[in-house]
Copies of this chain bind each other. A is one copy, B any other.
Amino acid sequence: MKQNLLRTMVAMLTAVATCALSSAQLTKNVNPLIGTGRIEGALRGCNYPGATVPFGLVQLSPDTREAPNWDCTSGYAYEDERVYGFSHTHLSGTGATDLMDILLLPVSQERRVATIDHGREQAYPGYYSVHLTDDDIQAELTATPRTGVHRYTYAQGKPQCVYLDLDHSAVKGDWGRRIERAQLRIVDAQTVEGFRIITGWAPLRKVCFSIRFSRPITAYSGWNDGRSFGVKGLNVKRLKSEDEGANAFTANGTDIKVTLTFEPDGRQLEARVGISAVSMENARLNREREADGKTFDQLRQEANDQWEETLAGIQARFATQTEATVFYTALYHAMQQPGVFNDVNGQYMRADYNIGIAREGHPHYTMFSIWDTYRAAHALYDLLQPQRAGDMVMSMIDHAEHYGYLPIWELWGEDNYCMIGNHAVSILVEAICKGVPDIDEQRAWRAIRQTLSTPHRDSPWPLWEQLGYMPENQQTQSVSITLEDSYDAWCAARLAERLGLADEKEHFDKLSHNYRNLYNPETGLFQPKDDLGKWLPGFDALRYGANGGSAYTEGNAWQWRWSVQHDVDDLIALSGGKERFVQMLDFFFTCRDTSGEKNDNASGFIGLYAHGNEPSHHVSFLYTLAGQPQKTDQLVDHIRRTMYNAEVSGYIGNDDCGEMSAWYVFAALGLYPLNPASAQYVLFAPSVTEATLPLPNGKNVHILSKRQGRNAIFVKNIRWNGQKLNAPMLSHQQLMEGGTLLFELTSNPKGKLLPTGGK
């Protein structure tokens, strides 16, 4: 009875809070320029500032490099003062670069690059604007899921032209990148369509587009594989398409660029660009269904509204606006991808390059940076966007059914095999165990079983099953892969168990402990062996590996020492018990020895801990499981305050499709999915003052922190619906039932802390 009363009160409180917060315009807290600037000693966040909607196919954003590369994977570097144009697809925060399709630049003369004025640059969710100073043009961008919308305001009396470049891309040659075929069609006086087929990080992409301009073309001049073409002073009638197939002009080649001149009539010109991976017809359909009959301002408002609704999944208050900005920008970055891949008619490019059809109401998704996002980003989707999360899982299963196994890094329908492990397995099992809707568990199991038995790149299963580990002389990155494959095996065992497949459960449970076979008790570290079972000589605990040629992936033996997310108890036992385990953690977070060549991805150091890259992301929470939660609180507080900020330098390393962001969101809320597929959260001191999560199931979760003073960063007590928790853990299932999570925080830690300045 008492409890019921409490619940009712909480529900009322929540309702009030929701109301109060949703009128607060959460999008005002988002600054898309965060993560776009240079950082000392680390890779930049590599976010893009352009216009996009939540989980959209289009990311319409400025490219400040002619052929962007590793340093600027999103195409935009804040320190740059020139823009090559606005292209329609971008990656957010990745280490490698790709996409950047169909580039438009408004100009008043033949020009392929324009100076920009950052003082006249605005970036909001779903809207971007910048001033091009050379020709005095203001460019504004907004987007729908599959359509980029441009509005250009030209200087009075100046020619109104648009430079359209089908050749623009990330640097050619990398990943064998080249344009195989491209087509440009001037369909009629206001419509330009085409496609390009390009190789690169995504092995082979077809990108089709359909552009509708708000006014007629009166001249065009361009280059097709070095041959010029063009018509001046066009009779607009000549550019009228009477019938299907009667295009005014068509160019086929590999390097096509054109400058289009428009009939001057007022100063503003709009371009609406539908894109599709399937066909120009679909690109046109996408544009018409999504953008027709609406003004630029209406579309901008709709994009903003979608972000408002998406961000309202967490209605949070912080002590400072800076924290709110960092938090909501992180949430914004996390919700930018994966993107819907199917066209409005359901068609999408399947993993075998045939056309698939998405089920009505169930989008097919693309852009899965799985090695990163299996850690926290998918946990966030499961929590806040379960319908989408289920469709993401089914998209991965569809991929497996036409590809033979689940994706490693899915980009534009195909796998680029970036990074290691097969953590789609984790994402599937996590979603199923969390009750995410509309997942076919039998198909999920089959996809998992095939993934973990079909040998593929970096997954030589016969060796794995025969030796019980990956031998470095036959499979490089062997220690990292052994650790990660052990985790995936554990995930598979959980689904087998759930489905009552006893033999399969036993098989995968056995494999889930394979990491033990590479543990060297003498060093307390996981070390590489050859295929005869001998330790590899010349071991250096501090030497970094990259992505091959070393047993460790983008890290060293110490950073990989903690990667047993699925059986921390066993890791503690293996380490010699809790005390020894904590000593090793203390060493890890305080070691000042920086010998050994670093890997670029490792940054954001606290001792050897590197928050700038994913293998470290769960390590601070291990203290809590080892009985020293105050050190988790201490570290998480430190990371939140020093590794994130509200400036263009906002992330201490690549955001990696929102994974760094998702970490922050959870870290601010006081819960973290240390072992995602366990459907459990570790609890610790949040930074949020108060947060309401109006769950899609109609329930609400209310998170409150009661702070004893400003420096109260340590957990004293945690109460779930009024009841004090014995252990700082909460299951996803509990959360889904709704309730209030109350953190009582103190400035007096219960035990010893790490020495400050450990960084």
**A interface with B by C-beta (< 8 Å):** 176, 178, 180-181, 183, 185, 195, 197, 199, 203-204, 206, 224-225, 227, 229, 243-247, 249-252, 278-281, 352-355, 400-405, 414-415, 443, 446, 450, 454-457, 460
Contacts and interface: CB of A to CB of B under 8 A. Distances in A.
Nearest to A400: B245
B454 A250 contact: yes
B353 A206 contact: yes
Contacts of A176: 178
A281 B350 CA distance: 13
B249 A404 contact: yes
B354 A227 contact: no
| Most chain B beta-carbon neighbours within 10 Å: one of A183, A204, A352 | A352
B278 A354 contact: yes
26 contacts: A176-B178, A180-B180, A181-B353, A183-B403, A183-B404, A195-B353, A197-B204, A206-B353, A224-B456, A225-B457, A227-B455, A227-B457, A229-B455, A244-B401, A245-B400, A245-B443, A245-B446, A246-B450, A247-B450, A249-B454, A250-B405, A250-B454, A251-B404, A279-B352, A279-B354, A355-B355
A197 B446 CA distance: 27
A180 B199 CA distance: 8
Nearest to A355: B355
A180 B198 CA distance: 10
A402 B193 CA distance: 11
Contact of A181 (B278, B354, B414): B414
A404 B454 CA distance: 44
A726 to B, nearest CB: 45
B250 A403 contact: yes
| Pairs A-B, 10 closest by C-beta atoms | A250-B404, A245-B401, A279-B354, A180-B204, A229-B455, A181-B203, A181-B204, A246-B446, A250-B454, A247-B404
Given A244-B401, A404-B249, A405-B250, A183 B352 contact: yes
A454 B403 CA distance: 41
Contacts of A355: 355
Contacts of A249: 404, 454
A252 B204 CA distance: 13
| Most chain B beta-carbon neighbours within 10 Å: one of A176, A245, A279 | A245
B244 A460 contact: no
A666 to B, nearest CB: 34
Given A227-B455, A249-B404, A250-B450, 8 more contacts: A183-B404, A244-B401, A246-B450, A249-B454, A251-B404, A252-B404, A252-B415, A355-B355
A522 to B, nearest CB: 33
Contacts of A197: 204, 353
Nearest to A455: B229
A708 to B, nearest CB: 57
A180 B454 CA distance: 21
B204 A251 contact: no
Contacts of A460: 227
A281 to B, nearest CB: 7
A217 to B, nearest CB: 16
A220 to B, nearest CB: 12
Contacts of A400: 245
A252 B403 contact: yes
Contacts of A183: 352, 403-404
Nearest to A243: B446
Nearest to A280: B352
A196 to B, nearest CB: 10
B245 A195 contact: no
A456 B251 contact: yes
Contacts of A247: 404, 450
B180 A203 contact: yes
Nearest to A225: B457
| Most chain B beta-carbon neighbours within 10 Å: one of A206, A229, A252, A401 | A252
A679 B281 CA distance: 39
A195 B247 CA distance: 33
Given A180-B204, A251-B456, A245 B402 contact: yes
Contacts of A280: 352, 354
Contacts of A454: 249-250
A415 B457 CA distance: 35
Given A197-B204, A245-B401, A252 B456 contact: yes
Contacts of A243: 446
| Most chain B beta-carbon neighbours within 10 Å: one of A281, A355, A404 | A404
Contacts of A443: 245
Contacts of A352: 183, 195, 279-280
A261 to B, nearest CB: 17
Contacts of A199: 180
A339 to B, nearest CB: 21
A371 to B, nearest CB: 18
Contacts of A415: 252
Contacts of A250: 403-405, 450, 454
Contacts of A185: 404
A352 B184 CA distance: 11
Contacts of A204: 180-181, 197
Nearest to A254: B203
A60 B199 CA distance: 30
Contacts of A404: 183, 185, 247, 249-252
A279 B351 CA distance: 12
Contacts of A456: 224, 251-252
A249 B197 CA distance: 29
| Most chain B beta-carbon neighbours within 10 Å: one of A183, A204, A355, A455 | A455
A256 to B, nearest CB: 12
A354 B285 CA distance: 15
A470 to B, nearest CB: 13
A443 B249 CA distance: 16
Contacts of A279: 352, 354
Contacts of A224: 456
B354 A281 contact: yes
Nearest to A397: B245
Contacts of A227: 455, 457, 460
Contacts of A403: 183, 250, 252
Contacts of A354: 278-281
A343 to B, nearest CB: 12
Nearest to A242: B446
A574 to B, nearest CB: 31
A354 to B, nearest CB: 4
A401 B457 CA distance: 42
A659 B326 CA distance: 71
Nearest to A229: B455
A683 to B, nearest CB: 40
Contacts of A244: 401
